[in-house]
Amino acid sequence: MRPLVTDLLGDVIEGVELGHLSPVPRFPTKAWRQECVELAVQRAIELDRDGRHLLLSGDPVAAGEVLAAPSADQIDASICLLDATPEVQMARLRGRGDPEAPLVHHVAYAEWLRSHAVDPTHVPEVLTANSWQPMRWERWTTVESGDSRWAMTRLDSSDLDPAEVAQAAAQWCIDSFDGRAPIFPRR
């Protein structure tokens, strides 16, 4: 999906996955993912200086991880949960050849992400336990459930083909650039 979105938006955006920012270890850890999120934030800061934007996609990164990255106080962040029903998610993962055993964990994490998207207080230890030490968790763990500052977009891709998902994601990007999508302002 990321290449399709970047094709639609051109040079205004740079699309990356975590593995583009740092070599993926044989056994990726939560701490590795969080270090990569910091690298993504640093890249977003660089691009912002040139009037460009970063699209981090392809990896399940929670809003709390983006906001808690050490350099995140230097950027505005717009976050979109690209979602699908558990049945569609399982079918897509199987379709790309993922092994069967971890699929239940992918679905469980997606369910947690859905809850996290609407409630910042939902089981924060999913991110904070065994985390990368420099993370600044207080940037989101102090936000309470129902706080209007905790707002992001959820895009349900369950009934969309890849081109439709890309078009919807590109429109979300444009809405974010123009201030029509929720933004976590730098602070």
pLDDT class of 8 with cuts at 50, 70, 90: very high
Q: What pLDDT, on the 0 to 100 scale, is given for residue 123?
A: 96
Between 1 and 139, the more confident residue is 139
Tokens encoding 102: 């971890």
Q: What is the mean pLDDT of the chain?
A: 95
Average pLDDT over residues 45-70: 95
Q: For residue 148, what pLDDT band results from cuts at 50, 70 and 90?
A: confident
DSSP conformational letter for 149? T
| Whether residue 35 has pLDDT greater than 90 | yes
Contact criterion met (CB below 8 Å) for 101 and 36: no
Q: What is the mean pLDDT of residues 11-23?
A: 96
pLDDT beyond 90 at 75? yes
Mean pLDDT to the nearest integer, 68-89: 96
pLDDT score for 9 = 96
Cα gap 87→2, rounded to integer Å? 22
Task: Classify each residue of 5-35 as buried b or exposed e, where b means 16 or more C-beta atoms within 10 Å of its C-beta.
Answer: bbebbeeebbbbbbebbeeeeeeeeeebbbb
Distance of CA 148 to the CA centre of its chain: 19
Question: To which H or E segment does residue 14 belong?
Answer: strand 13-16
pLDDT score for 149:
85
For residue 34, the model assigns a pLDDT of 98
Question: Of all residues in the chain, what percent are helix, strand and coil, respectively (each to 5)?
Answer: 50, 10, 40
Closest CA to 43 of 31, 33, 55: 55
Statement: residue 187 has pLDDT above 90: no
Amino acid at 171: Q
| Sign of CA pseudo-dihedral 27, 28, 30, 31 | positive
pLDDT band at 146 (very low <50, low <70, confident <90, very high): confident
Return the closest-CA partner of residue 151 out of 131, 110, 125, 180: 180
State the pLDDT at residue 145.
Answer: 87
Q: State percent of the chain over pLDDT 70.
A: 100
Q: Tens digits of per-residue pLDDT, 59-68?
A: 899 999 999 9
Predicted pLDDT at 171: 97
Non-local (6+) Cβ contacts of 141 within 8 A are 64, 120, 121, 124, 128
pLDDT recorded at residue 147? 87
Separation CA 83–CA 180 (nearest Å)? 20
